[in-house]
Amino acid sequence: MGFLAYLSLHARQDWRWLGLRILATAALCGLGGWLVASQVLRGQIDQLGQQSHHRAEFYRQSLESLLSRNTSLPRIIAREDRLKAVLRHPESANARATANRYLADIRRDADINAAFLMDHSGLTLAASNFDQPGSYVGNSYAFRPYFLDAMQNGLGIFYGIGATTGDPGYFLTAPIEIEGQRLGAATVKISLDDFESALTRSGDKVLIADANGVIFLSSIPEWKYLSLAPLDAEAQRRIEASRQYRERHINHLDAGLKLQAAPYSVRLKLPDSPAQNTLVVSVPTGSLGWSILLLTRTGPERQNALFAGIATAFALAFVFSMIIYFRLSVRRHEERVQADARLRQAHQELEQRIAERTADLRATNASLEERIDRLKTTERILRETGDNAVQAGKLAVLGQMAAGISHEVNQPLTAMHTLTDNARDLLDRGDFGEVRSNLDGIKQMAERMGRIAGEIKNFTRKSLVEKQPVPVLNVVCQAAMLVESRRRLADATLTLPEIPETLAVLADPQRLEQVLVNLLLNALDAVAPCPTRHVAVLAAVDAERICIIVRDSGTGIPENALAHLFEPFFTTKSSGQGLGLGLSISRMIVQELGGTIEAHNRENGGADFCITLDRA
Ligand code: ADP
């Protein structure tokens, strides 16, 4: 794995891990925030519950002190003789008037709403409001629980709307006993209006519900005379019978409010505001099974809890971020250190490898130099050996030639000997014409012998062949020029190769020209007796070598001559026409140039002579 690829893969994995960690951390922060928020909310609600409870207790004490202040008042009144006198003599107007005044005084002095006297049937005989419209006097309250309770149990306590006045009030009734008999009852009515207005002014949402759950005092006016829960039929009947709330039908509030000891939360819609979470604290009060309900909005507490939760979540997020950042920084640092170490190691390895390679190369170089030296030595030895071998080959050929030479030389020598003898005889006879003819013959013989000697000398000379690039077309043209007169004599056509001028072989130009001239002369000799006389020089080229072909349309090489063509002094030409040395010398030259020469007949007549040499 490349170093950069390794780093980038590592980085990608890091980012994936980082993403997961951020998610987990966010979840953790959210959870922490939620826990703190719920704890804070619980604490705040507890606190609020306690405060609400204290306030509800305060209202309870206020109410109970208000009620208890006058609890004994009806009993005191019940002892009053002026009232008893009325019961004894209900027909006495004087007694009634006295009682009326007494009750009016009591009302004023005790600061109560009303006081009145009923006979044993519940009929009102005297009242503090005797002189006002809507006086109780003459009305029967036998149906009122406070009367019934008082007559039966000795004390009647009741809260309800005044059947006559329509004003709500707290009724306290005590029986009046005369000589051990309950002949009537004295009732005081206490107004709770001031208490109710105090509730309203307090700003608290306070409800006071009776034992049936009917709200009869409330700082929320709309909720007055509604029950917390639907009333059962019996309760509804009792209320209607006692005309506690006059003719009202009591509907229920349906706000989820209950009477229970522990504070509880309920989502509540108050008449003047939308639904909100509200803490409800209820405290029992009085002897009639009443309850004080204090409703407190928990919005601020919830907000506080929410803020605390959010702050905690952010604080946690900050702390976690710092931890993650710190850990990532540490890891980055470690990775950087490791990467540096790896880089250093890779560098060292690279340097070591380079040093090893350099050493290898040096060794290879040394061995190559050594091999080159050896090759040079071998080449020199080969060259010397080759030169010697060529020379030795020449000498061997010369050995072969010896027989031919002796034949070739002996024959003219014998002829010359005979001609010389003849010439001497002819001189003696004075036949100068014949002498001249004999001398010409001798001259021809001598010339022939001279040519043979020249060829042999040329052949045996140890020459240094200097190979160089020789343009093929150029050397062929040179050779063609040299044989031009012979071509014309034979009346033959000569075609030159169609090759680029730059195409060259490695050769000695004079020696190659000599070979080509020899081959062209042979070709012209071969076509001379034929009706169509055509000679062509062609070239076949490959990447390394070039084959120069001398082609003719001549008689072709006789079958029995093919095996001896390149032997010295082999000729099929008539005596005096050829020495039979051309091809053997040509082969020697071509071999000296490092090439080959071969000959073969063509299918359609004529022969091909191919010289193959290295390409320059
Ligand atoms: P010379 O030409 O003096 O005979 P060469 O060594 O040049 O000697 O040729 C040897 C013989 O090869 C020739 O005598 C001839 O028989 C044969 N020869 C050479 N060239 C050709 C050719 N182009 N076609 C047919 N025969 C040939």
Residue 387: the pLDDT is 53
Q: What is the mean pLDDT of residues 341-351?
A: 89
Residues near 357 by Cβ (< 8 Å), separated by ≥ 6? Answer: none
Ligand 1 center–CA 410 separation, angstroms: 23
Residue 434: the pLDDT is 83
Nearest CA to ligand 1 atom 8: 580
Token pair recorded at residue 250? 């009591």
Residue 557, ligand 1, Cβ within 6 A: yes
What's the pLDDT tens digit per position in 528-584? Answer: 999 999 999 999 999 999 999 999 999 999 999 998 999 878 888 876 677 788 898
Residue 522, ligand 1, Cβ within 6 A: yes
Q: What is the mean pLDDT of residues 95-116?
A: 95
Q: How far apart are CA 188 and CA 207, in angstroms?
A: 24
Nearest CA to ligand 1 atom 4: 571
Residue 579, ligand 1, Cβ within 6 A: yes
Q: How far apart are CA 225 and CA 63, in angstroms?
A: 19
What's the pLDDT tens digit per position in 153-168? Answer: 999 999 999 888 888 9
Residue 561, ligand 1, Cβ within 6 A: yes
Residue 8: the pLDDT is 57
Residue 358: the pLDDT is 75
What's the pLDDT tens digit per position in 2-17? Answer: 445 544 555 667 788 8
Ligand 1 center–CA 202 separation, angstroms: 152
Ligand 1 center–CA 517 separation, angstroms: 13
Residue 295, ligand 1, Cβ within 6 A: no
Q: How confident is the model at residue 425 (pLDDT cuts 50, 70, 90)?
A: confident
Residue 588, ligand 1, Cβ within 6 A: no
Q: How confident is the model at residue 381 (pLDDT cuts 50, 70, 90)?
A: low
Residue 3: the pLDDT is 45
Could you identify the residue written with the tokens 């001598």?
Answer: 446
10 Å Cβ neighbour count for 195?
A: 18
Residue of 256, 261, 301 lying closest to 275 (CA atoms):
256
Same fold, 73-191 and 464-614: no
Residue 384: the pLDDT is 56
Residue 552, ligand 1, Cβ within 6 A: yes
Nearest CA to ligand 1 atom 19: 522
* 281, 52 Cβ separation under 8 angstroms: yes
Task: Note the CATH number of domain 73-191.
Answer: 3.30.450.20
Q: Of all atoms in ligand 1, which is nearest to the CA of residue 584?
A: 6
Q: Of all atoms in ligand 1, which is nearest to the CA of residue 526?
A: 24
Q: What is the mean pLDDT of residues 501-506?
A: 95
What's the pLDDT tens digit per position in 241-270? Answer: 888 898 888 999 888 888 888 888 898 888
**Bridge partners of residue 293, in order along the sequence:** 207, 282
Q: How far apart are CA 582 and CA 573, in angstroms?
A: 12
Tell me the whole-structure pTM to 2 decimals: 0.51
Residues near 335 by Cβ (< 8 Å), separated by ≥ 6? Answer: 10
Nearest CA to ligand 1 atom 20: 522
Residue 395: the pLDDT is 54
Q: How confident is the model at residue 489 (pLDDT cuts 50, 70, 90)?
A: very high
Average predicted confidence (pLDDT) for the chain: 87
In eight-state DSSP terms, residue 223 is G
Q: What residues does each domain of the chain span?
A: 19-68+301-340, 73-191, 464-614
Ligand 1 center–CA 527 separation, angstroms: 12
Helix (H) or strand (E) holding 601: strand 596-601
Residue 527, ligand 1, Cβ within 6 A: no
Q: Of all atoms in ligand 1, which is nearest to the CA of residue 552?
A: 23
Range in 100-114, 197-211, 311-325, 412-426 with the lowest mean pLDDT: 412-426
**Which residue among 522, 588, 590, 611 has the greatest number of ligand 1 atoms within 8 angstroms of its CB, and so is best to mutate?**
522
Q: How far apart are CA 257 and CA 270, in angstroms?
A: 12
Ligand 1 center–CA 503 separation, angstroms: 29
Q: What is the mean pLDDT of residues 321-343?
A: 90
In CATH terms, 464-614 corresponds, of 3.30.565.10, 3.40.190.10, 3.30.70.890, 3.40.50.280, to 3.30.565.10
Residue 526, ligand 1, Cβ within 6 A: yes
Range in 8-22, 53-67, 192-206, 226-240 with the lowest mean pLDDT: 8-22
In eight-state DSSP terms, residue 257 is -
The SS3 assignment for 443 reads helix
Residue 573, ligand 1, Cβ within 6 A: yes
Residue 469: the pLDDT is 96
Residue 254: the pLDDT is 83
Residue 535, ligand 1, Cβ within 6 A: no
DSSP per position, 468-527? EEEEHHHHHHHHHHHTHHHHHHHT-EEE-----TT-EEEE-HHHHHHHHHHHHHHHHHHH
Residue 582, ligand 1, Cβ within 6 A: yes
Nearest CA to ligand 1 atom 23: 523
Residue 364 has pLDDT above 80, yes or no: no
Q: How far apart are CA 441 and CA 301, in angstroms?
A: 155
Q: How confident is the model at residue 382 (pLDDT cuts 50, 70, 90)?
A: very low
The sign one gets for the Cα dihedral 525, 526, 531, 536 is negative
Q: How far apart are CA 236 and CA 91, in angstroms?
A: 39
Q: Of all atoms in ligand 1, which is nearest to the CA of residue 550?
A: 23
Residue 578, ligand 1, Cβ within 6 A: yes
Ligand 1 center–CA 522 separation, angstroms: 6
Q: How confident is the model at residue 407 (pLDDT cuts 50, 70, 90)?
A: low
What's the pLDDT tens digit per position in 458-476? Answer: 655 545 667 899 999 999 9
Residue 5: the pLDDT is 54
Nearest CA to ligand 1 atom 25: 557
What's the pLDDT tens digit per position in 112-145? Answer: 999 999 999 999 999 999 999 889 999 999 999 9
Ligand 1 center–CA 499 separation, angstroms: 27
Residue 162, ligand 1, Cβ within 6 A: no
Residue of 196, 118, 195, 209 lying closest to 164 (CA atoms):
118
Percent of the chain with pLDDT over 70: 89
Ligand 1 center–CA 557 separation, angstroms: 8
Strands 251-252 vs 156-161: parallel, antiparallel or unpaired = unpaired
Higher-confidence position of 519 and 460: 519
